[in-house]
Amino acid sequence: MEANQVKLLISLAENIELKQKDRNKIVASLQSAKILTKGENFTIHYKNLKKVLVSDK
């Protein structure tokens, strides 16, 4: 992932945290940024984020 994309993702995460949006708004925001699909799966360019966000139990 390019450094610019990483900065944008960090900024988006900080923005989400600061505003304490509800889940639907967070999902809509990630979908509009083309990070999540309508089915709430990561798009092909961000599929590695699932490894960070979902851990094996």
pTM over 0.85: no
What pLDDT does 20 receive?
61
Cα-Cα-Cα-Cα torsion 38, 12, 17, 19, nearest 10 degrees, comes to -90
Q: How far apart are CA 56 and CA 28, in angstroms?
A: 26
Give the per-residue SS3 of the chain: CCHHHHHHHHHHHHHHHHHCCCHHHHHHHHHHCCCECCCCCECHHHCCHHHHHCCCC
Q: Looking at residue 40, what is its pLDDT? A: 92
Residue 14 lies in domain: 3-53
Report pLDDT digits (tens) over 2-40: 778 888 888 888 877 766 657 888 889 999 999 999 999
| Total structural domains within the chain | 1
